[in-house]
Amino acid sequence: MSEWTWEYEGYDPAEETLRESLCSLGNGYFATRGAAPECAAGGPHYPGTYAAGVYNRLTSEVAGQTVSNEDMVNLPNWLPLRYRLATPDGSGGDWYTPDDAALRSYRQLLDLRAGIYERHLLFEDASGRRLRVRQSRIVHMDDPHLAALRTEFTAENFSGTVEVESAIDAAVTNDGVARYRELNGQHLAEIMSGYPEDCTVWVRARTINSGIAVAVAARTYSSQGPSCEPRPSTGTPTRPATRVDLALKQGETATVDKIVALHTSRDSAISDPLDAALDGVRNVPGWDQLLLGHRLAWQRLWHRALLEVPGEAGHILRFHLFHVLQTLSPHTADLDAGVPARGLNGEAYRGHVFWDELFVLPYLNLHFPEVSKGLLRYRHRRLNRARRLARDAGYDGAMYPWQSGSDGREETQELHLNPSSGRWLPDNSRLQHHIGSAVAYNVWSYARATGDRRFMEQEGAETLLQISRFWASKSEWDGDIGRYRIRRVVGPDEYHDAYPDATEPGLDDNAYTNVTAAWVLQRTLESLAALPEERRAELAEHTGLDDTELSHWDDISHRLHVPFHQGVVSQFDGYGELRELDWVGMSTKYGDIRRLDRVLEAEGDSVNRYQASKQADTLMLGYLFPPRELRALFARLGHRLDDETWRRTVDYYVARTSHGSTLSGLVHAWVLARVRPAQAWGFFQEALRGDVADLQGGTTGEGIHLGAMAGTLDLVQRCLTGLRIRSDGALSLAPVPQPELSGYDFAIHYRHLWGVRFRMRSGGLDISLPATNRRSLDIRLVDRTVTLRPGDSFHLTLPDGD
């Protein structure tokens, strides 16, 4: 395995679902799982194709209730291509698959540099005839509507005919997540198909309730000439197919190419998806030209996302970056789509948008700011829906939903299944109102990183204002303690959604929620004050904002309650009164207790009774804010958070976290890098291996964890270098290098400056500004400011580690 490839040797049915997810290909518009084209869905195989923003809503009967769920739709499968050796009597044998006893070798290779997925198979039938198959697949990174499959057949020791069938399968459902299978998954209807000229087949379908038209066309041809026979394979319109017969001589190789186009009625600049798809496959010049354009597009992406890290960590980081770019490419900037938590690689979380952009956008801001802006506009377009959600709940402003999909309504399910007990349970995660602070943080961070004043004056200011208005209306004055309080919420931990034996869900004064709400109010006040006078007046007139309301926000931002116990910041009010968990006993009894909530519920107990967190909650404050800013936030709220108090707080929660989320290792690595550096590397390794080793016990096969992948990239970019963007546009640096990752390079696109290069080495950090830039860059250090002019470099000497 080279640094630019990801490889698997041998066929293992137990690993196939995981490999399908990790070998997915995409371009920001759509993605297809790395499934075997020879196989339909079933057993270890689950082909899936998903387009960003294509959702549909269905109702289901679950546990005696009618529930409604919106899903990212599994679209018609363009992959099907099966083959077999012709038999002497002409009857045809069995179609070959990786599950066939005739399989002699199997290898999968993902070329990260070029975005090509290869499969190498060798079959030997009962007569000893050996057929070697090499298959290459792309989802085109230059033209986001195209994909292609090249299959090369070599007759190693025989002469004869290879029968090939190429199809599109529209009889697909959403069935890729076992715990959702009691839910309705039939999203496509009005399926039609056709067989126009030139060995082309097509299907057209429509999502049942959202009414999105989807069209897929495929043209199949061989190196032996144009002859092929279009014919239906099943006698139904759901699987149109074409047939190609290859006459091979011993040692000869023949190629079959399948070119595919996918369009939906959400696309811009088309009149009809089917016409666009057919036009797409008719006008493609061929595999070679298609591949060239695809390679060049990937080359441009890798140039903008330069990252060179040696060793295994670097290999995994490049793999993470590959998947981030496949899900959120420059094509995404023009779409009305958010950040799907599990990428476009599978159906977990139903393709919904959570808070993961909090971990994704800080990386994109410094490489692909146009993508960040497009993702923020997804949120702004749903601002009025968030205002309606707040109004319906009795609040002012905008209350963003914990799970979002097509139109911004709350998509969090009302019930969720515990696989450990088989019981359907109430899902109260919709009370994670801190999602609003995440949206605000992303708005502010984007503007700080890009200097995009126009965005901040328009969409940004409107979004911040309405989120602040929500937090102000959610805050209740408590005269007994002389503080504002935010009640009935759920924090990032997610395990705790109610007090022990409470009849109503929700917790009071989650520290992360309250501190970030105070931060949002403070930043909104600053942002509004910085607006041009005419724009500020326009916004005030439009929203009814006045000085009295602004004064109230300022008061809340100084007096929100932050609970403490035993000298540490409390995760929420009353957390210190919960029982301690027998961690050793639980681990001895159950082994893996990452999903402690499920284990305890299956026992008839509840994690709400214990001081046990699924993932970083209070410690998320150390992820978002560097030490100096975090101290200032607490000081603004009337609390002294010195280094020792924060260190105690970190130690306290590290000992009480089960890490039932891939984000947990990432956040702990980030926080510990500054508090206890010797402990950080172990958590960083867990964050790196979360998906590639499927540490969460089978979940990666349902889709990657995009936030954790992007977060590991940002960890080497901002955390270990201490890279921060100051209000005056300068960059500040406060490196905390890890000995295990002491040498690496990366480049960023910062405002008008391209290719700003950082080289971390043992004992030093080098920064250089290419001569092609026209502006200088100020670097703020602890003791001085350094100005880099185009063509300059600077070396920062770091103290020797222990």
**Helices then strands, each counted (H, E), the chain:** 21, 33
Q: Which amino acid is at 617?
A: D
Contacting residues for 37 by C-beta, under 8 A, at least 6 apart: 47, 79, 80, 81, 82, 135, 149, 151
Among 638, 652, 291, which Cα is nearest to 482's? 638
Which DSSP string corresponds to 638-703? T----HHHHHHHHHHHHTTB---SHHHHHHHHHHHHHH-HHHHHHHHHHHHHHHHTTTTTS-GGG-
DSSP-assigned letter for residue 464: H
Buried (b) or exposed (e) across 259-288, using 16+ Cβ within 10 A?
Answer: bbbbbbbbbeebeebbebbbebbeebeebe
Return the ∠ at Cα 32 (arms to 29 and 33), rounded to 5°.
145
Among 522, 631, 621, 604, which Cα is nearest to 570's? 621
Measured CA to CA, the distance from residue 149 to residue 117 in angstroms comes to 10
Contact 512, 620 (CB under 8 A): yes
Helix (H) or strand (E) holding 586: helix 583-590
Return the ∠ at Cα 298 (arms to 297 and 302), rounded to 5°.
125
Measured CA to CA, the distance from residue 442 to residue 419 in angstroms comes to 34
Q: Is 494 a catalytic residue?
A: yes
Measured CA to CA, the distance from residue 45 to residue 35 in angstroms comes to 6
Measured CA to CA, the distance from residue 637 to residue 632 in angstroms comes to 9
Phi and psi torsions of 23, nearest 5°: -100, 20
Which DSSP string corresponds to 515-536? HHHHHHHHHHHHHHHTS-HHHH
State the catalytic residue, choosing from 38, 459, 494, 702.
494
Burial of 411 from C-beta contacts in 10 A (0-12 / 13-18 / 19+): buried
Q: Which two tokens stand for residue 432?
A: 């994670």
Phi and psi torsions of 247, nearest 5°: -95, 110
Catalytic center residues: 494
